[in-house]
A and B are shown apart, each in its own frame.
Chain A
Amino acid sequence: MLAFVVNRLLQAVGVMLVVALVAFVISNYIGDPINNMVGQDATHEDRARMRTELGLDDPAPVQFGRFIAEGLRGNFGISYQLKRPVSTLIAERLPATLELVLVAAVIALAGGVVGGVYTGLRRNAMSSRAIMTVSLVGVSLPTFVIGILLIYGFAVLPKSCVEGMHLFGRMLLTCAEVGAIALPSFGRGDTVELGSWTSGLLTADGWRHLVLPGITLSLFNLTLILRLVRSEMLEVLRTDYIKFARARGLSNRAVNFGHALKNTLVPVITVAGIQIGSLIAFSTITETVFQWPGMGLLFIQSVQFADVPIMTAYLVMAALIFVIINFTVDVLYAAIDPRLRSDRAGTARA
């Protein structure tokens, strides 16, 4: 087991080095930050001096070496754009992203499992077919389109209500009622500071701001989990032990939830674990659409400015999150499933 862990750790370090190299190489092609850092009337000499100060003139291997050495100490330098240490900036933006991801993951898991079980049990009902059709939209529409549609539907439309013209047809809501359901279109709302962590989960305003981006970010994973649970349910419901369970006269509820659902959850947890990693790393688009002040937004802003320190730090961090999640999953598997360990031992002998 120890050898297995050490082996995986070494692989992880290798992956991190490669990602660092790629991040570094990309940053050399993104363009020249100097023009964004000085006014248009700066002289050639000023620009050259600044380039030297930043070490942009050094040979690439020297720059890379410095980048790795500093990065190992957690020092990614100072942002060209915001003039603050990158590590501080990321630490400040991390809570916003993590809270958004948490909410999105809960929505995706809850909605996905409930919907999957429902459609799996009543696969021929009209309602199930409707859910499946709608879920196709969730998989196929790009995130930013979903986000903008939600903003339009829940932030802009309710506010452009004209008295006498009702949004929900026969429900005959007054404009005041429509206005009350309007949701904010951007930002994080009121936050509460808990030490170095800022939380939007403790204020009503914070929750209202979370609804639209949370749904947007979760939708793809919700449909993914929904479809996964459904097909697993259909699979499991056909197996012999379910038939035996029914033959023993167990209630529907015990069979469906006690036996069937439990057995569908193993692959679901695997997928969900990996998807959470991708939610953290790729919440960029949702954050941009909703001006959500997380790491993804910071990254997008830094790309346009050619703010190399933030870009590289973000890429390395995204890779680190994936590496950690994969490493944990690998080790957990090995702990749970002895076959994995013996398989490895087997291949080592061969």
Chain B
Amino acid sequence: MNRWILTTALAFALAAGAPAAEAKNTLRWSSQGDALTADPHAQNEGPTNSFNLTVHEPLLYRNRDMKLEPALALTWKAINPTTWEFKLRQGVTFHDGSKFTAEDVVFSFKRAQMPSSDHRNSLDTIADVKKVDDYTVHFVTKAPNPILPNQITQIAVMSKAWAEKNKVEKPQDYKNKEETYAVRNAMGTGPFKIVRRDPGIETVLARNAAWWGWKTAQGGGNVDEIVYKPIKNNATRMAALLSGEIDFVLDPPVQDLDRIKRDPKLKVLEIAQDRSIFLGMDQGRAELRYSDIKGKNPFADKRVRQAMNLAIDRDTIKRVVMRGLSAPAGLVTAPAINGYTKELDTPTKANVDAAKKLLADAGYPQGFSTKLDCPNDRYNNDEQICQAVVGMLGKIGVKVQLDSQSKTLHFPKIQKRDTDFYLLGWGVPTFDSHYVFNFLYQSKGSWNATGYKSDNLDKLTADMAGEIDAAKRNALIAAAWKQAKDDVVYLPLHHQVIAWAMAKKVDMPILMNDQPQFRYAKIAAAPAKKNN
């Protein structure tokens, strides 16, 4: 059998064109779901972006603390209120050896703005992308946009010549019934290149030795090969980690973390994610659809919302439901996001008596009934969180009927505004508060199902989008957060804490956007082997 393994390994080594004899650092890892496509602009989804940005690169990276740092762009500055100038890195090559220039940047951003691109909404402030010279690009925005650099960290730059050659100048749309070449192939400048991709089964990436960043702060890793195999079943994924068949699991099940920590060969890393979990209440309509109170809307009364806020015991949810993996929140935005303040994020302490009194003052001494819509396959322990909330609200007389469903049924309810009371989580890819206000608080926000409408907050949101002066802008954000918190628009529960599990020999920092950066990954030399 050893001979078999040796022959196969040798065959692979030859196929990959790797120098033989030398020991390879292979990182084998797994998660629940594979990237949906290798086309970097067709899908804006966590695992997909994460995969595509390993093969491609953005203009700007986020470092371990989510601060911007140079990637394909070396410097960036606003040269007038509506123009950002990016100076590009020279001497960078694509995986096929061709030179990276401003042409590729212009092409990629135009591609990402096409109707069939899923990234176009994060670029909707951009009017034009212009090449000034081979290594200078100007982004012209429709209105002043102070956070443009924050909005482009997920936009991958692909090779223009390659895209034209393979007829993938456009991201795939669903009218096209064929598979496009870009679904399984890619041409980027990233630290790793695709060797083989079998979606949903196995993806093998090899180190791009020519990558500019290996010796810089952006790199530093020593991984030669990444083998990714998705494993859907939680128990099987854990078994594969425990048996040493894989070295890293992106999404270990919460209930298994203690066991992993006890294993002498494994470790667990934890960090508060940029995603906050909260409850929304429809406070805009005249009468609730799913309540015994007719003719008026209890959620419209701020005292009712405050009472519910006081009824929820976030520490208990953390301890019992989340097994410690949550950071109780007072704000629908997580640390590290611009505009976050520790002071506003102080969670409300549970106080049942005060809650009952507020409810009585509001005219509901006996409470009322309502229905809570909850997803059961989207966030960590989402359904159990809702069950806990139902019990806690029951203590103050708010009788909640729980309706937990798959995300495929839950999210449409929020978008069609067919829900009175719901649980939602919100991540902030731009790491700026504007993203939260724009979608969740402003009256036309596409995920604002609360019916909350405040002209002042709408104006603050519009103003912070265009204010170039950082100090003034931060003052606007602070004012907006104060109002949002005072009005009790949402009931924040916690910031989700994520955990990664890996073999002790792997050294890779956990990142709060849940996107592993293999350019940092180091594998310690294996100690003299005792077994096999």
Contact = CB atoms under 8 A, between A and B. Distances in A.
Interface of A: 30-44, 46-47, 49-50, 53-54, 75, 77-78, 80-85, 88, 148, 151-152, 155-156, 158-161, 163, 175-176, 179-180, 182, 184-188, 190, 203-205, 288-291, 293, 297-298, 300-301, 304-306
19 contacts: A31-B405, A31-B408, A31-B409, A35-B415, A39-B118, A40-B427, A42-B118, A43-B446, A44-B446, A78-B176, A82-B199, A83-B36, A151-B239, A175-B530, A176-B532, A179-B532, A288-B232, A289-B235, A305-B408
B530 A186 contact: no
Interface in B203-242: 229-233, 235-236, 239-240, 242
Nearest to A185: B239
A313 B263 CA distance: 43
A185 B415 contact: no
B179 A38 contact: no
B177 interface: yes
A53 B174 contact: yes
Contacts of B229: 186-187, 291
B175 interface: yes
A54 B406 contact: no
B240 A186 contact: yes
Interface size class of B (residues with CB under 8 A): 35 or more
B200 A82 contact: yes
B273 to A, nearest CB: 14
B245 A304 contact: no
B496 interface: no
B412 A31 contact: yes
Contacts of A300: 232
A185 B415 CA distance: 41
Contacts of A50: 174
A46 B122 CA distance: 13
Contacts of A53: 173-175
Interface string B236-279: 10011011110000000000000000010000000000000000
Give the 3 A-B residue pairs with the shortest CB-CB distance, closest first: A31-B408, A39-B44, A306-B408
Given A152-B239, A203-B4, A289 B200 contact: no
B52 interface: no
Given A30-B408, A187-B229, A182 B243 contact: yes
B15 interface: no
B235 A151 contact: yes
Nearest to A298: B200
Given A39-B45, A54-B174, A156-B242, A31 B532 contact: no
A291 B8 contact: no
Interface of B: 1, 4-5, 8, 33, 36-37, 39, 42-45, 115, 118-119, 121-122, 172-180, 183, 198-202, 229-233, 235-236, 239-240, 242-245, 263, 377, 405-409, 411-412, 415, 426-427, 435, 439, 446-447, 530-532
A77 B176 CA distance: 10
Contacts of B263: 160
A304 B377 contact: yes
Given A78-B178, A185-B245, 11 more contacts: A31-B409, A32-B409, A38-B44, A53-B175, A85-B177, A155-B243, A176-B532, A180-B532, A186-B245, A205-B5, A301-B232
A46 B435 CA distance: 18
Contacts of A32: 408-409, 411-412
A291 B240 CA distance: 11
B408 A33 contact: yes
Contacts of A159: 242-244
Which has the most chain A C-beta neighbours within 10 Å: B175, B229, B239? B239
B359 to A, nearest CB: 33
Contact of B36 (A34, A77, A81, A288): A81
B319 to A, nearest CB: 28
B245 A184 contact: yes
A291 B230 contact: yes
Contacts of B5: 205
Contact of B239 (A34, A37, A85, A156): A156
Contacts of B406: 30-31, 304, 306
A186 B236 contact: yes
Contacts of B183: 82-84
A46 B121 contact: yes
Which has the most chain B C-beta neighbours within 10 Å: A75, A161, A186? A186
Nearest to B37: A83
Nearest to B435: A41
Contacts of A43: 121, 446
B239 A155 contact: yes
Nearest to B115: A49
B30 to A, nearest CB: 8
Contact of A185 (B118, B232, B236): B236
A172 to B, nearest CB: 16
